Amino acid sequence: MTLDQFTASLADAQPPAGLHPILNALWYDGRGDWDRAHETAQSREGVREYDRLHAYLHRKEGDQWNAGYWYRRAGAPVFDGSLADEWTELVQHYLP
């Protein structure tokens, strides 16, 4: 699946089958369902990849302090770009 295909799938009622759970969460986030994406991040707290997703979601929420906490837990620098760019980078990382 390409980034364009993934982005186009946001118009569908359900995410594509067989997505990595983090991609699934980003799909819901891309459709404006922050809460559902956040549930995924919370489901595996302590796992770096999920903590990184958690950081992005709290940055998007506007809670910079909490986002910083999750970036640190993920061992990742605070993203220095737009939220759209961060979403795209995360999606591309998990696409096969």
Tens-digit pLDDT profile for residues 21-74: 999 999 999 999 999 999 999 999 999 999 999 999 999 999 999 999 999 999
The residue range of the domain holding 35 is 19-94
Instruction: Judge whether 16 and 44 are in contact, CB under 8 Å.
Output: no
User: The pTM is what?
Assistant: 0.95
- The CA distance from 9 to 63, in Å, is 28
Specify if 7 maps to a domain.
Answer: no
Specify if 31 maps to a domain.
Answer: yes
77-94 pLDDT, tens digit per residue, is 999 999 999 999 999 999
Specify if 69 maps to a domain.
Answer: yes
Instruction: Judge whether 80 and 53 are in contact, CB under 8 Å.
Output: no
What's the total number of domains in the chain?
A: 1
Instruction: Judge whether 9 and 18 are in contact, CB under 8 Å.
Output: no
Specify if 12 maps to a domain.
Answer: no
Closest CA to 87 of 36, 26, 37, 43: 26
Q: 82: domain CATH number?
A: 1.25.40
